[in-house]
Structure 1
Amino acid sequence: MFQVRYTRNLFLRGLCIIYLFAFLSFYIQIPGLYGDNGILPAKTQVDLKLKVPLSQKLMQKPTLVWFAPYLGLNVEYMLDVLALSGIILSFLGFVSQKFCIAPVFAGLWATYYSLYQVGQIFMWFQWDSLLLETGFLCIIIAPLWNTQHSKAGTPSDSVTFWTIRWLYFRLMFSSGVLKLSSGCPTWWNLEALNVHFESQCIPTPLAWYAHNLPVWFLRLSTVHAIVSELVIPFLFFFPNRKVRITAFYIQLFLMINIIATGNYNFFNLLTICLSLSLLDDQFFYKKKSKTGNSGILNYLTTIVCIAVYAAVLYGTYVYYNLKLDLDNWTIHSAIAFTQKQFDEVLAKAVPISVYIGMISLGFTVADAVTNSILNVKGLKKKVTTTLVTVFYTLIVGSIFALSVVPYSSLHSSHNQTVPIQLKKLHAKVDPFQIVNTYGLFRRMTGVGGRPEITIEGSNSVDGPWKEYGFLYKPGNVNNSMPFVAPHQPRLDWQMWFAALGTYHQNPWLMSFAYRLLNGQKEVLALINIVENPFRDNPPKYVKASLYHYHYTQWSQKNSQAWWTREKVGEYFPVFSRDHPPLLEYLAKMKIVQDKPAPKVSNEPVKFVLDHLRAMVSKIEASILLWGVFTAGCAIILTASTPAPKKK
């Protein structure tokens, strides 16, 4: 049996880092997004004056925000308290293994879920759901308390930690499946990456260079991405550990490339954290073998690993019709199977993968139980350890069964095969984001040009109109994109999604326009202050236009521009501060209210929170996140450095 105690602990501390980034990023944006003067005030989601018992409120919307009156706070300040509590808990878990325990992870999950409940459209991202699902699993993976026994590890560790591998498989395989099952021509023609680097939400500076790579190389990279998500995940459960470790490196390579070219906040870091489930303690602490038999076994496992990946390469060569052109030193690629053939294989692959998961879990449980019986000393301890292993097996088995419900939706033919009782049980737990569906880049957007919304203001309907600048999304064609991850600028992200539809489909934009017309400083802090043409006084009118952006070509890089753009048309019409339909709509959304907000009676806490907010607001978001992370690393290094011996 391979031990996973150290690997598990490394994963738990890694997740604390992810939580830290997530809470910090959220905290920075509270006033502009969810404050009383924000775009979507959180107070519209929880009515603190509601005269019903607390238990009924929690049933209506399970969030810790309801406890605000008991602390003498309003909703906005309660969000500050919750976010800061999450920051403190995750930072403690980051710097010390002592705090990587179940109660701490329960607190982190409950806190983030509370923010998710009032986050509205700005929190409806797959990575938020993925963090909640992973965080929930950590409650059963982490030791109940930090004791000498938990440091030594228990047989049940491998059983609970297996849930992360299954989640990782569902995440990667689902992402690969949806790319092809969607029928998107850019994926089927292997042209997705020819568009992706230009059209993704917030590119990094390296995305421009990636976009200008040779077309044949981008097509080959698309093949690599699809194979990494469709085929390699099945090797996560391969009995040969070298096969799993190689799969880890393949996925790590994919994630590093995504991080280098796109700002996907903490998502790719969280995915890397999940990939640790493919490893074991021997990966970090290699033991030297003293027997010749082990040496022979090592060679055999290496040969098996080479054979497996040779088969993967051969399959890729056949099914993606790879051909080497020696004249131009290029590799041609094209999908050699039809959508009907893919659908037929997928119909078989989904249940097969569930069976593979069941077999893998079965072997893991059998190994853990055997280890409990044979290797644990003392009858009493042997019985206790075995019962604990069985207890966790029941929990893990239940989670696995629930996950089959959303996972089976990958193919329509399996929706009817899931037992109705299991569907009903999943429906009850679904609001808690314990098991979710995943799949990114189902369809590649921006094929005819990257759609972008520009918002302009003026003091006259006849102009001149002056454009607002954003901090992270494309605007000025001469500005390159920044590295901003792991911070997620949620306004910039939603502006990208809004550009794919109409303003009627994105009603929050009306509130955003209204805040700009009123010069609301909390909202203005979310955009580029330097490129704000109305810093002194807000404009009398605002409007929005839709543009199509394109990267400049490599031959044009002598110019200062990174982008070219052409105007498509109007996105939303001219609005003024006293525009009756606008005010009526905002009143209906409860964003503009006549009744005063609840007063804050806890002045000492308010004083501390206000001063902390004033200090944090002076630091750029990504710098703050990496600064706190660096401080945590410094604490770890200081604590691990032995004190000098006294002479």
Structure 2
Amino acid sequence: MGWAWFTDPDYWASKLAFQRMLAALYLVAFLVAANQFRALLGARGLLPIPKFVARVPFRRAPSIFQLYYSDTFFASVAWIGVAVSAVLVLGLTDSASLWVSLVVWAVPWVLYQSIVNVGQIWYSFGWESLLLETGFLAIFLGPADMAAPVPVLWLLLWVLFRLEFGAGMIKLRGDRCWRDLTCLYYHHETQPMPGPLSWYFHHLPKPLHKAEVLASHFTQLIVPFALFAPQPAAGIAALIMIVTQLWLVISGNFSWLNFLTITIAVSALDSHLLPFTPPPLTEPPLWFRVLVLAVTALVLVLSYRPARNLISRSQLMNYSFDRLHLVNTYGAFGSITKTRHEVIIEATEEPELTPDTVWHEYEFKGKPGNLRRWPRQFAPYHLRLDWLMWFASLSSQYSDSWLQPLAEKLLAADRATLKLLRRDPFDGRRPTYLRARLFRYRFTTPQEHRETGDWWVREPVGRALKAGRLGPDGTAVAAE
């Protein structure tokens, strides 16, 4: 049996670019974990990991934190992930042996797997599974002096196909506005975390919004099939996806989803589009070839349910069919919210509540609050609490487990929690009472923006949490 087909030097440059970009996203993911875990998942966090692992067995949530947990240990894991990712970004293992390459790339995958599997609702987003699925395949690409294994390249194309086609199908099966091309009349305004240009995108002429939807349907429902065509067609399809993802990058904050999609698409570019001459390349040993084929067979077997899901009328979105997130199903925004609501948390230092009580708002880093504050760019960095606050505005089912504990942490002026916010109106002092109100937000019109300087207009529509104070046992007690 000949093995000439097993590696392809035409993908040497794209393999290196893919590895560098993926390592950079790993670095961001571990940095997010290191900076935010204590308030969200720490021993005294909103959803403590020790309580989670006490009720969820290892087989359902494989993680090194099932064996031992402390905040110091979690911080060490996260910073080790940052360090290893930085080593990979800098290419310090490029000249290492094949065994070293396998081990080094496996480290961030194992560590991030451990974080995601105990991350609960804070780590319930599709890009977590996408990073793990892609990171698993990256383990088997080999060092820089070896050409890319063709089976792994095909598996990356399969990931990209499911990601794009799944997103397209969930739209066709979902909200009617995707079929009548009007979803982007609303989406730029109502998306979880608008970016600096979202206001401008929202005010594009409606025919351009329809053109955006058509372009999305073309890229997600037709272009993915060209990924499996001969070059240069496959590379051109990948370039179309890259351009589309860059459009999404500048129009909103979707963590590293768009950046990771671009990274996977880069792996489909061969020497036609990345004309770099590789150095002399080594041939992989037989044991590695057998290992890659075994991994390929495993992925194909595990692909049955995700593939069936793509054509199912009851298509699942962002779902993992195995505990290690090896092969997943993806999709986003099958339905579009037409009206934006925001949960605004306020507190006061006054000793008693009266009709004249003055309330002060807590300001978050990314989610809308202050009407005059221009939305910021945070992606690929992920503000997990800000994103969940958007879900909390949709339904209490998304916040039942953590919104009340958040209120208690703010009433206690918990330092770790306050670090997740942009501004604490009390400068670290404990307020006496806290409440959360629901507001309807919309972008200002161009005329309103010229006259007021505001980016948003809002009006109160209800209550998310009753006004309360901190009781003797550290839990919130309703005051009205």
TM-score by length of 2: 0.88
Please report how far the alpha carbon of residue 228 of structure 1 lies from its aligned counterpart in structure 2 after TM superposition.
Answer: 0.8
The corresponding residue for 1:562 is 455
- Contact 2:371–2:454 (8 Å) recurs in 1: yes
- Contact 2:407–2:476 (8 Å) recurs in 1: no
Indicate whether 1:264 and 2:254 are aligned. yes
The corresponding residue for 1:200 is 191
The corresponding residue for 1:209 is 200
Task: Report the CA distance shift for 1:159/1:411 in structure 2 as closer, same or farther (over 3 A).
Answer: closer
- Contact 1:503–1:571 (8 Å) recurs in 2: no
- Contact 2:167–2:332 (8 Å) recurs in 1: yes
Indicate whether 1:13 and 2:20 are aligned. yes
> Structure 2: which amino acid aligns with 1:392?
V
Which structure is larger by alpha-carbon Rg, 1 or 2?
1
Unaligned runs of 5+ in 2: 95-99
Q: What SS does the corresponding residue of 1:269 show, helix, strand or coil?
A: helix
> Structure 2: which amino acid aligns with 1:575?
G
Q: What SS does the corresponding residue of 1:546 show, helix, strand or coil?
A: strand
C-alpha distance in structure 2 between counterparts of 1:502 and 1:34, whole Å: 20
- Contact 1:543–1:573 (8 Å) recurs in 2: yes
C-alpha distance in structure 2 between counterparts of 1:475 and 1:516, whole Å: 17
C-alpha distance in structure 1 between counterparts of 2:137 and 2:146, whole Å: 21
- Contact 1:503–1:509 (8 Å) recurs in 2: no
C-alpha distance in structure 1 between counterparts of 2:398 and 2:229, whole Å: 49
- Contact 1:37–1:522 (8 Å) recurs in 2: no
Q: What SS does the corresponding residue of 1:430 show, helix, strand or coil?
A: coil
The structure 2 residue matched to 1:541, chosen from 433, 442, 445, is 433
The corresponding residue for 1:162 is 154
Unaligned runs of 5+ in 1: 51-55, 69-73, 288-375, 416-425, 585-647
- Contact 1:265–1:487 (8 Å) recurs in 2: yes
The corresponding residue for 1:153 is 147
- Map 1:26-425; keep pairs closer than 5 Å: 26-46=33-53, 58-59=58-59, 61-66=61-66, 68=68, 75-96=70-91, 98=93, 101-141=101-141, 143=142, 146=143, 151-153=145-147, 157-182=149-174, 184-239=175-230, 241-285=231-275, 385=286, 389=289, 391-412=291-312
C-alpha distance in structure 2 between counterparts of 1:516 and 1:583, whole Å: 10
> Structure 1: which amino acid aligns with 2:336?
M
- Contact 1:197–1:203 (8 Å) recurs in 2: yes
Please report how far the alpha carbon of residue 263 of structure 1 lies from its aligned counterpart in structure 2 after TM superposition.
Answer: 1.2
Task: Report the CA distance shift for 1:60/1:399 in structure 2 as closer, same or farther (over 3 A).
Answer: closer
Q: What SS does the corresponding residue of 2:467 show, helix, strand or coil?
A: strand
The corresponding residue for 2:345 is 455
- Contact 1:113–1:132 (8 Å) recurs in 2: yes
Q: What SS does the corresponding residue of 1:457 show, helix, strand or coil?
A: strand
C-alpha distance in structure 2 between counterparts of 1:511 and 1:534, whole Å: 19
Please report how far the alpha carbon of residue 65 of structure 1 lies from its aligned counterpart in structure 2 after TM superposition.
Answer: 2.3
Please report how far the alpha carbon of residue 411 of structure 1 lies from its aligned counterpart in structure 2 after TM superposition.
Answer: 3.0
Aligned length: 455
The corresponding residue for 1:500 is 394
Q: What SS does the corresponding residue of 2:139 show, helix, strand or coil?
A: helix
Please report how far the alpha carbon of residue 222 of structure 1 lies from its aligned counterpart in structure 2 after TM superposition.
Answer: 1.1
Please report how far the alpha carbon of residue 461 of structure 1 lies from its aligned counterpart in structure 2 after TM superposition.
Answer: 2.7
C-alpha distance in structure 2 between counterparts of 1:471 and 1:505, whole Å: 19
Q: What SS does the corresponding residue of 1:10 show, helix, strand or coil?
A: helix
Q: Per-residue CA shift, 1:177-231, capped at 9, x if unaligned? A: 000112x122122111111110111111111111111111111111111111111
C-alpha distance in structure 2 between counterparts of 1:581 and 1:226, whole Å: 51
> Structure 1: which amino acid aligns with 2:454?
A
Please report how far the alpha carbon of residue 503 of structure 1 lies from its aligned counterpart in structure 2 after TM superposition.
Answer: 6.2
C-alpha distance in structure 1 between counterparts of 2:314 and 2:448, whole Å: 51
The structure carrying a bigger helix percent of its residues is 1
The corresponding residue for 1:440 is 332
TM-score by length of 1: 0.66
- Contact 1:132–1:434 (8 Å) recurs in 2: yes
Q: What SS does the corresponding residue of 1:101 show, helix, strand or coil?
A: helix
The corresponding residue for 2:97 is none
Please report how far the alpha carbon of residue 536 of structure 1 lies from its aligned counterpart in structure 2 after TM superposition.
Answer: 4.7
Q: Per-residue CA shift, 1:455-513, capped at 9, x if unaligned? A: 11123332222221111110011111111122111000000011110268532001100
C-alpha distance in structure 2 between counterparts of 1:519 and 1:6, whole Å: 51
Determine what percentage of the aligned residue pairs are the same residue: 30
- Contact 1:140–1:160 (8 Å) recurs in 2: yes
Please report how far the alpha carbon of residue 534 of structure 1 lies from its aligned counterpart in structure 2 after TM superposition.
Answer: 2.0
- Contact 2:62–2:324 (8 Å) recurs in 1: no
Q: Per-residue CA shift, 1:36-63, capped at 9, x if unaligned? A: 332222222245xx9xxxxx97557422
C-alpha distance in structure 1 between counterparts of 2:198 and 2:297, whole Å: 42
> Structure 2: which amino acid aligns with 1:117?
N
Q: Per-residue CA shift, 1:230-260, capped at 9, x if unaligned? A: 1111111112x12222212211111111111
C-alpha distance in structure 1 between counterparts of 2:397 and 2:325, whole Å: 28
C-alpha distance in structure 1 between counterparts of 2:14 and 2:42, whole Å: 40
Task: Report the CA distance shift for 1:137/1:546 in structure 2 as closer, same or farther (over 3 A).
Answer: same
C-alpha distance in structure 2 between counterparts of 1:196 and 1:554, whole Å: 18
Cα-Cα RMSD: 2.8
> Structure 1: which amino acid aligns with 2:396?
T
- Contact 1:264–1:486 (8 Å) recurs in 2: yes
Q: What SS does the corresponding residue of 2:458 show, helix, strand or coil?
A: strand
The structure carrying a bigger strand percent of its residues is 2
Task: Report the CA distance shift for 1:60/1:582 in structure 2 as closer, same or farther (over 3 A).
Answer: same
C-alpha distance in structure 2 between counterparts of 1:191 and 1:200, whole Å: 15
C-alpha distance in structure 2 between counterparts of 1:115 and 1:286, whole Å: 37
Task: Report the CA distance shift for 1:501/1:237 in structure 2 as closer, same or farther (over 3 A).
Answer: same
Task: Report the CA distance shift for 1:581/1:27 in structure 2 as closer, same or farther (over 3 A).
Answer: closer
